[in-house]
């Protein structure tokens, strides 16, 4: 029997409420979003998986959104490398903007791009981004107004330009709800977004030529507050983490229609908020 170290080392992100991290495809940069202190931290990983000390801390600034409770200052909620691995996309819930940064390969510092941040509607609260497999389109789920915005992606500069906004909620729902997670299917034909309050997964079809979205259905999450969901590596299964009902629920994905079928598979666990599939060698 062999043992494996659970923690190589620990380094500070120099901020509060770190909500998301991402590693570039070359495993050279680890970037963290400090949600409450409005900053992005860069900590390069060593070959053994341990982290160097903080090498860069960028504080986001801009005009805050109109929602004074949820938008009192910049609130980066995710850091995600784009399909090229050259640019970092940062949806900011507090500023109603999506930032794009480059990374200096020598200094490991974030580089501000010449293009202006991509706008979202006032009060939308951009939360997470997911890219179409062809890399031409990015989709951002907006937490506060429960919408999804489609953006054209400039491959040269990594900048985003909006071209469509659609609701993640059915027009018959008149209660309170906030969107949370978003994901494009592996084949790029479908997009999913979760609703906390309506407690559902919104299902969209993706036009292969234009990238435009069309609402096709909503599937109940069989729990409360689906903060997170993900597709398994095969794309045949979706797993939904219902934070406030303490369960993870499995759904079978119809590969032809994108529809979800609830399976009698549920795991009880306290406040699940993220699921990651391990790869085996």
Length of the chain: 281
pLDDT at position 3, please? 46
pLDDT at position 85, please? 94
Asked if 32 and 55 count as a contact pair (C-beta separation under 8 A), the reply is no
Q: What is the token pair recorded at 122?
A: 């006032």
- Residue 95: CATH number of its domain: 2.130.10.10
Q: Would 276 be classed as within a structural domain?
A: no
Domain that holds residue 171: 18-268
Q: Would 61 be classed as within a structural domain?
A: yes
> Beta strands 118-119 and 110-112: pairing type?
unpaired
pLDDT at position 49, please? 87
Q: Would 4 be classed as within a structural domain?
A: no
Concatenated DSSP letters of 48-98:
TS-BPPP-EEEE------S-TTT-SS--B---EE-TTSSEEEEEETTTTEE
- Give the chain's residues under pLDDT 70: 1-7, 280-281
Q: 90: phi > 0 → left, psi -120 to 50 → alpha, else beta; which?
A: beta
pLDDT at position 281, please? 53
Helix (H, G, I), strand (E, B) or coil at 233: coil
pLDDT at position 115, please? 81
Asked if 155 and 138 count as a contact pair (C-beta separation under 8 A), the reply is no
**Structural domain count of the chain:** 1
Q: Would 3 be classed as within a structural domain?
A: no
Q: Would 109 be classed as within a structural domain?
A: yes
**pTM, rounded to two decimals:** 0.95
- First-to-last alpha carbon distance for the chain, in angstroms, is 18
Q: Would 44 be classed as within a structural domain?
A: yes
Instruction: Round to whole Å and give the CA distance between 191 and 260.
Output: 12
pLDDT at position 266, please? 87
Q: Would 264 be classed as within a structural domain?
A: yes
Q: Would 72 be classed as within a structural domain?
A: yes
Shortest CA distance to 262 belongs to which of 251, 247, 254, 272? 251
């Amino acid at each position: 029997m062999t043992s494996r170290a659970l923690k190589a080392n620990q380094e500070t992100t120099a901020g509060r409420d770190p909500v998301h991290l991402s590693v570039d495809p070359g495993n050279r940069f680890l970037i963290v979003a400090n949600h409450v202190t409005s900053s992005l931290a860069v900590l390069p990983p060593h070959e053994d998986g341990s982290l160097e000390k903080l090498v860069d801390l960028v504080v986001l600034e801009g005009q805050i959104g109109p929602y004074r409770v949820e938008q009192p200052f910049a609130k980066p909620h995710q850091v995600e490398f784009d399909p090229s691995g050259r640019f970092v996309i940062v949806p900011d819930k507090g500023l109603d903007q999506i930032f794009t940064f480059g990374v200096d390969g020598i200094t490991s510092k974030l580089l501000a791009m010449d293009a202006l941040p991509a706008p979202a509607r006032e009060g939308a609260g951009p939360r997470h981004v997911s890219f179409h497999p062809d890399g031409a389109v990015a989709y951002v789920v907006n937490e506060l107004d429960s919408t999804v915005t489609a953006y054209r992606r400039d491959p040269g500069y990594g900048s985003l330009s909006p071209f469509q906004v659609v609701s993640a909620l059915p027009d018959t729902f008149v209660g309170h709800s906030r969107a949370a997670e978003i994901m494009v299917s592996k084949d790029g034909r479908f997009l999913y977004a979760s609703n906390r309050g309506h407690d559902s997964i919104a299902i969209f079809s993706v036009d292969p030529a234009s990238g435009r979205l069309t609402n096709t259905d909503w599937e109940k999450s069989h729990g409360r507050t689906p903060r997170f969901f993900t597709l398994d590596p095969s794309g045949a299964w979706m797993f939904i983490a219902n934070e406030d009902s303490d369960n993870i629920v499995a759904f079978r994905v119809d590969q032809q229609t994108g529809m979800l079928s609830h399976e009698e598979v549920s795991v009880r666990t306290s406040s699940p908020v993220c699921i990651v599939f391990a790869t085996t060698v």
